[in-house]
Amino acid sequence: MKIYPSINESELKANADSCLLTYGSKFHPDIITRAKGVYIYTASGQRMLDWTSGQMSCLIGHGNPEIVDVITKHAASLDHLFSGMLSPPVISLAKRLTDLTPKGLDKAFFLSTGGESNEAAIRLAKFYTGKFEIVGLSASWHGMVGAANGAQYHSGRAGYGPVFPGNLCLQAPNAYRSIFRHPNGTYDWETELDYGFSLIDRQSCGSLAAVIVEPILSSAGMHPLPAGYLTALKAHCEHRGMLLICDEAQTAIGRAGDMFAFQHYGEGVVPDILTLSKTLGNGLPLSAVVTSDAIAACAKDHNFTFYTTHVNDPIPAAVGDKVLEVVVRDRLVERSRELGSVLHAGLRRLQQQYGCIGDVRCRGLMAGVEIVADRRTKAPGMELGDRIGKKMTELGLWAQLGTMQSFSGVFRIAPPITISEKELEEGLTIMEKAFASVEGTMSLYGRQTEMPVLANL
């Protein structure tokens, strides 16, 4: 259904220039008038595969009929309540979610955005430990509100005055670019992590409350934590009496091929606090904080407060409950893992053909393609990446290129996990056409436009 069948695009753009405040990036040049399934549509009628799922959120597709039905029914009969009131969808979502999380993540409450859930998690960690220092990773992104913003280092720290006191920084894992190497050249993340904590100990005033990490650093360029990293990090936390907070705004509910990305390596590590957002609400503002019975009991007994207008709201909770139902019922976690192997193989083929692709990182239907000007020096190729991205958009594929420092020119790819293999191959074909037609991509096969078939991917 076209809800905007006829618009004056030039007038809308003029009005946008006159009345919209900018907030961190340039606006996309086209006005988007429709989104359905895995596609978005512009005012001029162009259809684009949406390989960012909106803002990495529409996990089960735009306009999913079951989500539309839930929203329609609850908008008509159970929309918004006093914050101290409970409703069936809130209780149902909490039960369904904590049935999926491992023991130690036993109780939940629901907010609006990822930044808000991280703010609540940090506040809860400070309340429970009685300490105030928060450690974040050097390329992290956790939100735009007080404590969450202070714990992130991806961008946006300059020009706003001091952040919350007690924020300390660990080097973010980066297997492609880290200077910490074993003699054979492989990544030595253990030494990097130990060295980082030795610096944290020197900076700390003795009040370390928590570490907050993403299992895959999305805003940093889709860098997964190495196998064993969470186990080692948890040990560092326990040694110092700190809590471990996992921010799974983008990685949870099957996106990265596991129900929760912290479970990927089977290490048995359970965070003290888990935050969810984005994928849980399928594009609606919904986030969650999940923690242990012990921390929840302390919060209840000592009157922990994080009281907001939209805490435990019925409509978004009903949507989140339906998202979890669909993901489990339709085995979408397994689907993400299986189609992720198709995506990864396709991106690896591109890397074998074009010298400008320095690295490919993929888990489930979540991938990063790093564009470089020189594979030997790994010099970022952001200008080249921008031209490739514009060509992909022109050809009908939307994939975001990050150009901030901690991105180093990486395409972030995260289509809805309901995408078909045919649609996935369509996107890969468009990517190949874009690389083939943009000057400077350093084709390793001359003018060849067909992707070579590689064995043993």
User: What CATH number is associated with residue 273?
Assistant: 3.40.640.10
Q: Which domain holds residue 286?
A: 66-329
Q: What is the pLDDT of residues 319-356, one digit of tens each?
A: 999 999 999 999 999 999 999 999 999 999 999 999 99
Residue 457 belongs to some domain of the structure = no
Percent residues over pLDDT 90 in the chain: 86
Residue 3 belongs to some domain of the structure = no
Contacts of 17 (CB under 8 A, 6+ apart): none
Q: What is the pLDDT of residues 225-254, one digit of tens each?
A: 999 999 999 999 999 999 999 999 999 999
Does one domain contain both 245 and 270? yes
Does one domain contain both 277 and 355? no
Does one domain contain both 274 and 397? no
Q: Is the pLDDT of residue 77 over 60?
A: yes
Does one domain contain both 72 and 34? no
Select from 189, 245, 185 the least CA-distant residue to 215. 245
Q: How far is CA 209 from CA 8, 167, 232, in A?
A: 53, 10, 17
Does one domain contain both 188 and 322? yes
Does one domain contain both 337 and 245? no
Residue 443 belongs to some domain of the structure = no
Tokens 């949507």 -> residue: 319
Does one domain contain both 280 and 397? no
Residue 448 belongs to some domain of the structure = no
Percent residues over pLDDT 70 in the chain: 96
d(C-alpha 416, C-alpha 367), whole Å: 13
pTM: 0.95
Q: Which residue has the higher pLDDT, 116 or 220?
A: 116
Where in the sequence numbering do the catalytic residues fall?
141, 214, 247, 250, 278, 412
Q: Is the pLDDT of residue 446 over 70?
A: no
Does one domain contain both 202 and 54? no
Does one domain contain both 93 and 19? no
State the greatest distance between any 2 C-alpha atoms of the chain, in Å, as a whole number: 69
Instruction: Count the domains in the chain.
Output: 2
Does one domain contain both 392 and 324? no
Does one domain contain both 183 and 295? yes
Tokens 């489930």 -> residue: 364
Residue 451 belongs to some domain of the structure = no
Q: What is the pLDDT of residues 268-293, one digit of tens each?
A: 999 999 999 999 999 999 999 999 99
Which DSSP state fits 154?
A: S
What single-letter amino acid sits at 396?
G
Q: What is the pLDDT of residues 124-140, one digit of tens each?
A: 999 999 999 999 999 99
pLDDT of amino acid 288: 98
